[in-house]
Amino acid sequence: MDPRPATNASPRVKLSTPLAIIGLFVEVLRIRFSKDSQMDPDLPWRWEEWQDGTSREDVIFIESGWNTNIEMRNVRPGIWVDRIQSIWTKASIGNQDQMPVDLRIPLEQFHAFGETDLRLDCTSPNRGESMLIGGIVQDFVQMSRNLIAAWFGLRDISNVMLNQTVPFDKDDKLWNSPVSFRVFYETRWASAPVSNLLRAVSLKISDITDPETYFRKIAIREEINPVL
């Protein structure tokens, strides 16, 4: 099947991307801490939809790590889901997936494995509370990782590590207990022949004396005046 975006899908978020995986774990953690979630014993915090700028000790804020709303960041305690790094690994030689289905359309199809390291920053102004939230998050992800992977089509989720509780690097008034793990997933894509594109680039620089300087100036955003 040719990889095509779903109807009305956002062009910036696609299935099996680090951005979508971050959103997945934000939502899973929100449900875990929601008031409708059954807990035994009951937790001292609940996640609620954002209402105003007031900070309550019984409400936990769960959001992606790059949320720039300063007012929201003042809500404590919090869990911030962020990506550390991503890497592609080969599934086949040249990442080739299969031969074109329609030979009249020379569309190449590819397949690769993606790996993304996630970090869940569990923050609180109280060191003990940060440690407690970190432990709960580690236990939940570790004990649910097989179910999460199966339900959402992930290849695997690594063992979950709870790191040392340290001052939060984004706020010196907070403590942070980072929880980290790696998510494995698959992705497929297709590309049409790029010969026309490469030919256009070649023709564009054919009358330029120094192509190397030309591309270097493009990289540093300098004005280009080709010397004929």
> What pLDDT, in 10s, does the model give residues 116-171?
999 999 999 899 999 999 999 999 999 999 999 888 888 899 999 999 999 987 77
Whether 9 shows a pLDDT value over 60: the answer reads no
More confident residue, 114 or 58: 114
Same domain, 219 and 159: no
Whether 70 shows a pLDDT value over 50: the answer reads yes
Domains in the chain: how many in total?
2
Whether 99 shows a pLDDT value over 70: the answer reads no
Please indicate, yes or no, if residue 112 is contained in any of the structural domains: yes
Same domain, 24 and 130: yes
Same domain, 133 and 35: yes
pLDDT at 113: 86
Nearest CA among 185, 180, 182, 184 for reference residue 80: 180
pLDDT at 133: 95
Please indicate, yes or no, if residue 64 is contained in any of the structural domains: yes
Same domain, 207 and 103: no
What percent of the chain has a predicted confidence (pLDDT) above 90? 28
Look at 55-64, 71-80, 128-137 and tell me which has the smallest mean pLDDT: 71-80
**Average pLDDT of span 101-113:** 69
**Structural domain of residue 42, as residue ranges?**
18-193
Same domain, 130 and 115: yes
Q: How far apart are CA 140 and CA 162, in angstroms?
A: 12
Please indicate, yes or no, if residue 8 is contained in any of the structural domains: no
Mean pLDDT (the chain) is 77
Please indicate, yes or no, if residue 77 is contained in any of the structural domains: yes
Phi/psi at 48 (5° precision):
-135, 155
More confident residue, 107 or 203: 107
Whether 228 shows a pLDDT value over 50: the answer reads no
Please indicate, yes or no, if residue 182 is contained in any of the structural domains: yes
Same domain, 144 and 216: no
Same domain, 114 and 178: yes
Same domain, 137 and 29: yes
More confident residue, 196 or 138: 138
Same domain, 183 and 202: no
Same domain, 221 and 122: no
pLDDT at 2: 41
Per-residue DSSP letters for the chain? ----PPTT--TT--TTSHHHHHHHHHHHHHHHTBTTS--SSPPS-BB----SS---TTB-EEEETT---HHHHTSSSEEEEEEEEEEEEESSGGGEEE--SSTTS--EEEEEEEEEEEEEEEEESSHHHHHHHHHHHHHHHHHHHHHHHHHHT-SEEPPPEEPPPEE-TT-TT-EEEEEEEEEEEEEEEEE---HHHHHHHHHHHTT-S-HHHHHHHHHTT-------
Same domain, 128 and 97: yes
* Vertex 177 angle, CA 70 and 55, to 5°: 35
pLDDT at 44: 85
Q: Are 115 and 184 in contact (CB under 8 A)?
A: yes
Q: How far apart are CA 193 and CA 170, in angstroms?
A: 45
Please indicate, yes or no, if residue 3 is contained in any of the structural domains: no
Whether 106 shows a pLDDT value over 50: the answer reads yes
Instruction: Note the Cα 115 to chain centre separation in Å.
Output: 10
Please indicate, yes or no, if residue 227 is contained in any of the structural domains: yes
**Average pLDDT of span 94-108:** 63
What percent of the chain has a predicted confidence (pLDDT) above 70? 64
pLDDT at 38: 76
pLDDT at 188: 75
Please indicate, yes or no, if residue 9 is contained in any of the structural domains: no
Same domain, 167 and 129: yes
